[in-house]
Structure 1
């Protein structure tokens, strides 16, 4: 081939390439696929399981129409007056209704989960004392050489009983618990019968370090047949007690003992009852079994023992706990006390993981189902419990508590991470949809991608208003006045979750959870519990990180053991992180320290806050482990520059400093500036590129450039409430950083999605308002379209104020009013106007000239109106819905008995709302402001020039 021919081929190839690239069409921008899992779900309480096929279908059709994607069935306490309709939990009749629900779920496209217990924690009438939760008790005795013990080796458990909402005497309760026929009325929380406890071991210790086991020298009546040898002897007798925790809020057939969560035999026995009763049931359509948190130890004392504990401890910790009973109970050297207690607590943690959580998960898989698990509140490393769950689920509002579940889900590659949303947002009937959205955004910003409301009671269609209700929840049910507007919130959740699901987390830091520090320090209870409140172990550091905009996931010791390093990045499965941050901690397992060093050797950067840990945890083979630990530490040659000390190790390094932000920035790990602006956010990776959920609950309007720690070819903004979308206004900066211009009113949300190629979309509009506005002070015609107790008469007014000021009848009304007025097109011509409704109680649907423009739930009640929709004369309708509180005040004052439930009946959230009968009351409330209060005005908008903004 001649050089000329070669050049001709090259030229032709270049031309073809250029033509091909010029013909490549920009990528179409669309919303991700919607499924029943991208929609929100709801907990569906079956009170007393007093359900029937017709009402089950009717309830489910209402839920599907409101935009729900699935339900979690939780049978709960009974309703007074409906005892003859209650179905005993997991009976054949109950199973028939469950099967009907599964079939209807398939017809309606609703997913179905099922709580394994009626109420919580796991337990029921088929759990006897042998498999019920237990505790440890001990007695100590002192003998001198030649003496015999002159008292019985015996522990009589005193009788005790606690019930919900009333006093019960132990004489009213029979043993066994299952023999009581009035358990709904008793509403037992914890029961301990007076009886001798079985001896687990008797050990003798002298000051010379001699240890003798005397268990086989104790007769059945407690007599010790042993004379103390020469010296001073301390005897420790360990007894197995009955903790006595009852299943909380159980319905008929679900009342009884809570299981021993540390016993595989007890877990399997509990689950076998479902197997027995469901053997002829078609479980097609069942997605998951559910556990409504641990919550065993919210009774008096801890459940902290199991019959095989001594054997389990020896197998797991490598030494015999019987030999160290003084240390277990805090009577040895301080060093031994701490280390043995740590080992005891770690063993409890292991048992809850291996003997309950994994057993339950495996059982669910045998039914072609998965588990959804609330692990918080457990005396265990809940990161490991969450990892063992197919769908980790959290609750509460503390970001650190939420991140315990989402972190475990991220680190272990879980596609769904759920939450129990909107529990006790306010007192009954006072939570509006703005508060609901804020609660949901808090979850979405902290990594949740599967919202489950708390919740919706099953209620018969013929039941009078307000129907059946749960004692501790926002009332997500058709009888709530804002039910129709909830559909818009559900659509919003669906849009957000369609982005947040089918994604990979994109957090920079793995934050070690130093649980061994907590396990080593003795406190008022023998077992610390985790995930119930802000985790004090890391709260100062973790709160600083999140408030500063650093992205992180918690990680446990077991999870660290599975990490790998490649190209200086740390991988947990296919999820990539930049570093591991170890908070200031005293104790760490040798295996964890060895793994951290191995990761550094492979190229990773490991960051320690302040200093390296002081010591290894636990007691077994302590001297050898301490020696190995010190060898690792001394192998590091730190060089200090400023506040940062660094030691090379292999192809990576170990760095330490008290100034964590400086440490992170030195490793090119930067905070997202959105946090400084008061924005909540979550960053993930989707097939198209980096994606952000961004929500504004700062209390102020955001209108500014923000630096973000990502980039791409182009970025698109999506408004998940209005479904508007368009190209973001972006400035590229150095590295992977970019700047994006954001406008967000209080309560607004955007999804920011990067794309790796050009996209076909118009620009997302950025607006500035004119200095003049048109006040709509015309006469308003107000009519009432839906609500209770009855529809009031229509009226007209030129003064917008709460409708409760119009008449006594309107003070009692909860529902929707239509506000209609007419107005002329503003003199200031514009392509778009903003309609500001001013003050609204509590949500509003905006309709212009017969066309629905949108639903507003607050806290900001503004909506943009295209100028093309305005004519010379326009009709504006605002459909405003208030809270159900006003109608409930009226019910209370009229003495209508809607609080007719067993067990807790209807509890108040605030003590000021507790009535004389101990239940919630709204009797003394004044009617809440309701309706459109305004002022209402219309203001012209002009688009901000992209060129102008880019130079701003």
Structure 2
């Protein structure tokens, strides 16, 4: 019965998610839900949580505008050891249940990491289930002789730690039995021991292959006399990679699992089944897995006990017959093809024996899974495709597209992001900085933001509270906390559109993974796929994607497996409920026969396949190579190209065609693909479609003001423009272009963004207000009174000044050390010039500002522009302007460092330095050499008269 209930719950969750895709366009802001709000990773340091502070924290997050939290236990805080709760203990589960209850009361969502820190692992992971590494030795034996040395391999000792590294001789097995695991923060441990022989193969100079494994006795002696000829013996040994859970919470310290073994995963998850048995945890929306990061260590996890059997099943031949090629000692082509097959098998195992079974496990518990597939030695598009919510991270739009493409191609409504992990060094990032980073995620297709992150911190914790080792610090102690809700409301407004409708991209770009699989790497047998670089640097895949992004073409990446599920409707390609116009082959060398055959079939039924520079020249891998190559050449021979205009060649295939050219623009033009020309003006965008129109999220990522007409690639009778920062909206000024498409007038300052909604019919709503300058700026001069209302270490005395500058330059050490809020007040007269509207420009602000006029709040401004529009009627003859400015945490931290006051009170990583000049003698972060950062209202503050640009 519980299984049926869980599956009904999952069906309802997906129905709700799918409903967001089919919602028709509406005039006005879409409804706000917990899902449209930003969420945050919630670090439970030491799992030292209590119910009183759980409630206080969650209420403060809710009031700040967060919609949900992902619980991730992490390393502890020194001095609070008595409060540590062992991971998955009954007390820990009780705290989780209380959290779920409070989340329900506050209408917040909860996800749960399926581990402490990352990757999956813990003290219950046995040596049999821990990650494995392959080691090898070669031996030469002449005919008639015996091998004199034993076939043994002794694994060398290794200890790597993020904390205080012990000597290997001070550690015992199992790891969980050692004391001070939090203090040591072990990252990788290998004990000196003889590791088991996996296989011993012999190869002679005539091509004969012998399996000699059963001729090696327990002492490693090979009882075998070599037949005539020259023999090379290859011995493979299965060792322990030794990777430990990074940043583990108390009770979570231990080995990382073997990700290529289904039994290892099942044993790992059984510990959760045991801990959760009989408990109502139905409030968990999704389980989470962080990026792979197993090989962020010495060596590689590159083997599993059943690998050779799995290889035979998946590739059709025995890899043991080809160990010289696997290890790079055969001819170049054989080396390449055998290595490719090995990597493909590892990729398959990570998908079939880890990702899919984990998904099935969560489904039986009535939950989704959220996964960061990047970093894996695998086809990350297929890994992302196998989960419910693909998650990305970083600062590169093309990197984001791996996760968001899989979401789009597979019809998944949400793509999430680990956001603002390292925008700058500790304590240096503003809300405006975060806003710019979030906009880039939106451009990359993300529509479900997760901050990285917020640390649970007791209400009475000494400032700056409990912090995580990475920045940005989204904590209640940060001076920007009072303004945090403004950023969260902005994200909510954007995501209310971005979670509606469907993605509207034109091009599917083939992911040429087999090119990379077939090339040797510099880190061992495996490569780890994260973004374009380093494995696709300098390739046609990289250059074509970069050019299309720059020129405003819309595209998603697609894998071989996903291509096999494509359907056609006329010339359109159908997948995940979406319509694409073409597939692009990005000058790749290899393509599986099945994939290319599918492309030819798609063309026969009407599709257009575009080829950048060169067609693939062959198929990857080793098995059945001659037959596959012959069939591939036959397919190529059926493509008869003739020259067209602009260097484009065309080959007609059935109802469709192949196009090939050396340049992207004429190639896509010939395929009938329109671009969004707004990128020429420094604008970036993401486009979605509805039943009766389109929406665009647009951000001005350039350095220049955009004030003019912007051409869209779609046709519309009306366009509505929405300002997600102010929540104002209105009918945009638009016009029909000569090509039948629509142009819209936009006014966007650098760093500013908007949302457009196009409609097929005329609509009658109030016009969006555009302004033009109507006179000279008027300075707001006089005496400013600066008082300090909140912050520390102490509240400085009020200051009167006629010259605006950083408050660190207005007094003594108390001002230099102050982090908090300063309130600027001034009395000014209304300018004599007549104007319908005035733009109040605060000039330079460090860092966020609440603006009040005559006691009425006008706005909270987080940057990069600090401008607010004031109707003339709101100005009195004599006015009071109040600007409450919050600076950053950094100046108080500098003061603490210079006074050697402790705040880095955490086990494990404590803190990492992330910029030049911030590393102390211990190699960790310090601000002791920093000068106070500019703070407050810098100005100049002006009023600029403006008038409507268009009068209707």
TM-score above 0.5, yes or no: yes
Q: Quick one: distance in 2 between partners of 1:892 and 1:144? A: 68
Aligned to 1:464: 462
Aligned to 1:15: none
Matched, 1:889 2:894: yes
Q: Quick one: distance in 1 between partners of 2:785 and 2:764? A: 45
The question of whether the paired residues in 1 share the 8 Å contact of 2:25 and 2:690 is answered with no
Give the deviation of 1:165 after TM superposition.
4.5
Q: Quick one: distance in 2 between partners of 1:186 and 1:939? A: 60
Matched, 1:765 2:764: no
Aligned to 1:148: 146
The question of whether the paired residues in 1 share the 8 Å contact of 2:129 and 2:264 is answered with yes
The question of whether the paired residues in 1 share the 8 Å contact of 2:789 and 2:822 is answered with yes
Q: Out of 802, 813, 831, which is 2:806 matched to? A: 802
Q: Out of 628, 653, 658, which is 1:625 matched to? A: 628
The question of whether the paired residues in 2 share the 8 Å contact of 1:812 and 1:927 is answered with yes
CA deviations over 1:750-795 (Å, ceiling 9, x no partner): 1000123332311111111123121111211211111111222112
The question of whether the paired residues in 2 share the 8 Å contact of 1:27 and 1:759 is answered with no
CA deviations over 1:774-827 (Å, ceiling 9, x no partner): 111121121111111122211222111111112221111111111111222221
Q: Out of 490, 507, 514, which is 2:512 matched to? A: 514
The question of whether the paired residues in 2 share the 8 Å contact of 1:28 and 1:760 is answered with no
Aligned to 1:880: 885
Aligned to 1:851: 856
Aligned to 1:87: 85
The question of whether the paired residues in 1 share the 8 Å contact of 2:398 and 2:531 is answered with no
After superposing the two structures, state which structure 1 stretch, 494-503 or 922-931, moved more.
922-931
Aligned to 2:425: 427
Aligned to 1:835: 840
Give the deviation of 1:941 after TM superposition.
0.6
Q: Quick one: distance in 1 between partners of 2:718 and 2:170? A: 71
Q: Quick one: distance in 2 between partners of 1:687 and 1:576? A: 13
Give the deviation of 1:734 after TM superposition.
4.3
The question of whether the paired residues in 1 share the 8 Å contact of 2:455 and 2:475 is answered with yes
Aligned to 1:595: 598
Aligned to 1:480: 478
Q: Which runs of 4+ in 1 moved over 6 A?
A: none
Q: Quick one: distance in 2 between partners of 1:946 and 1:240? A: 77
Give the deviation of 1:626 after TM superposition.
0.5
The question of whether the paired residues in 2 share the 8 Å contact of 1:719 and 1:725 is answered with yes
Q: Quick one: distance in 2 between partners of 1:395 and 1:773? A: 42
SS at match of 1:913: coil
Q: Quick one: distance in 1 between partners of 2:708 and 2:164? A: 57
The question of whether the paired residues in 2 share the 8 Å contact of 1:163 and 1:189 is answered with yes
Matched, 1:740 2:738: no
Q: Quick one: distance in 1 between partners of 2:871 and 2:475? A: 34
SS at match of 1:615: coil
The question of whether the paired residues in 1 share the 8 Å contact of 2:781 and 2:828 is answered with no
Normalised TM-score (structure 1): 0.96
Q: Quick one: distance in 1 between partners of 2:870 and 2:701? A: 24
The question of whether the paired residues in 1 share the 8 Å contact of 2:840 and 2:870 is answered with yes
Matched, 1:649 2:649: no
After superposing the two structures, state which structure 1 stretch, 60-69 or 860-869, moved more.
860-869
- 1:897-916 alignment, distance < 5 Å: 897-916=902-921
Aligned to 2:936: 931
SS at match of 1:129: coil
The question of whether the paired residues in 2 share the 8 Å contact of 1:27 and 1:757 is answered with no
SS at match of 1:492: helix
Q: Quick one: distance in 2 between partners of 1:338 and 1:692? A: 44
CA deviations over 1:361-398 (Å, ceiling 9, x no partner): 11111110011100111100100111111000000001
Q: Out of 92, 96, 101, which is 2:94 matched to? A: 96
Give the deviation of 1:686 after TM superposition.
2.6
Q: Quick one: distance in 1 between partners of 2:180 and 2:317? A: 47
SS at match of 1:300: coil
Q: Quick one: distance in 1 between partners of 2:253 and 2:763? A: 59
Q: Quick one: distance in 2 between partners of 1:844 and 1:911? A: 29
SS at match of 2:305: coil
Q: Out of 230, 251, 254, which is 1:253 matched to? A: 251
The question of whether the paired residues in 2 share the 8 Å contact of 1:833 and 1:864 is answered with yes
The question of whether the paired residues in 2 share the 8 Å contact of 1:690 and 1:711 is answered with no
Q: Out of 634, 638, 641, which is 2:641 matched to? A: 638
The question of whether the paired residues in 1 share the 8 Å contact of 2:507 and 2:554 is answered with yes
Give the deviation of 1:27 after TM superposition.
9.8
Aligned to 2:922: 917
SS at match of 1:270: helix
SS at match of 2:681: coil
Give the deviation of 1:737 after TM superposition.
2.0
Q: Quick one: distance in 2 between partners of 1:575 and 1:101? A: 38
Give the deviation of 1:216 after TM superposition.
1.1
Give the deviation of 1:729 after TM superposition.
0.9
Q: Out of 772, 784, 788, which is 1:784 matched to? A: 788
Q: Quick one: distance in 2 between partners of 1:612 and 1:667? A: 17
Q: Quick one: distance in 2 between partners of 1:410 and 1:249? A: 33
Give the deviation of 1:31 after TM superposition.
0.3
Q: Quick one: distance in 1 between partners of 2:798 and 2:510? A: 62
The question of whether the paired residues in 2 share the 8 Å contact of 1:568 and 1:605 is answered with yes
SS at match of 1:364: helix
The question of whether the paired residues in 1 share the 8 Å contact of 2:848 and 2:886 is answered with yes
Q: Quick one: distance in 2 between partners of 1:111 and 1:344? A: 41
1:27–1:673 distance in 2 versus 1, CA, 3 Å: closer
Q: Out of 133, 137, 140, which is 1:139 matched to? A: 137
Give the deviation of 1:257 after TM superposition.
0.1
Q: Out of 670, 675, 686, which is 2:674 matched to? A: 670
Aligned to 1:45: 43
The question of whether the paired residues in 1 share the 8 Å contact of 2:121 and 2:245 is answered with yes
Give the deviation of 1:299 after TM superposition.
0.2
The question of whether the paired residues in 2 share the 8 Å contact of 1:204 and 1:211 is answered with yes
The question of whether the paired residues in 1 share the 8 Å contact of 2:157 and 2:190 is answered with yes
Aligned to 1:374: 372
Q: Out of 213, 233, 236, which is 1:235 matched to? A: 233
Aligned to 1:341: 339
CA deviations over 1:113-166 (Å, ceiling 9, x no partner): 111111100000000110000011111111111111111111111111111154
Aligned to 2:167: 169
SS at match of 1:587: coil
Q: Out of 704, 726, 746, which is 1:722 matched to? A: 726
CA deviations over 1:527-582 (Å, ceiling 9, x no partner): 11111563425222211110111111011111111111111001112111110000
Give the deviation of 1:629 after TM superposition.
0.3
Q: Flag structure 1 segments of 5+ consecutive residues without an equivalent.
A: 1-25, 948-952
The question of whether the paired residues in 2 share the 8 Å contact of 1:53 and 1:100 is answered with yes
CA deviations over 1:413-454 (Å, ceiling 9, x no partner): 111100000011111111011110000000001100000001
RMSD: 1.3
Aligned to 1:581: 584
Aligned to 1:395: 393
SS at match of 2:87: coil
SS at match of 2:776: strand
The question of whether the paired residues in 2 share the 8 Å contact of 1:47 and 1:251 is answered with yes
SS at match of 1:439: helix
Q: Quick one: distance in 1 between partners of 2:614 and 2:916? A: 46
The question of whether the paired residues in 2 share the 8 Å contact of 1:156 and 1:197 is answered with yes
Q: Quick one: distance in 1 between partners of 2:568 and 2:471? A: 45
Q: Quick one: distance in 2 between partners of 1:786 and 1:225? A: 81
After superposing the two structures, state which structure 1 stretch, 632-641 or 439-448, moved more.
632-641
Q: Matched residue pairs, number?
A: 922
CA deviations over 1:219-268 (Å, ceiling 9, x no partner): 11111111111111111111111100000000100000000000001111
Q: Quick one: distance in 2 between partners of 1:581 and 1:280? A: 52
Give the deviation of 1:736 after TM superposition.
5.4
SS at match of 1:778: coil
The question of whether the paired residues in 2 share the 8 Å contact of 1:28 and 1:761 is answered with no
Normalised TM-score (structure 2): 0.96
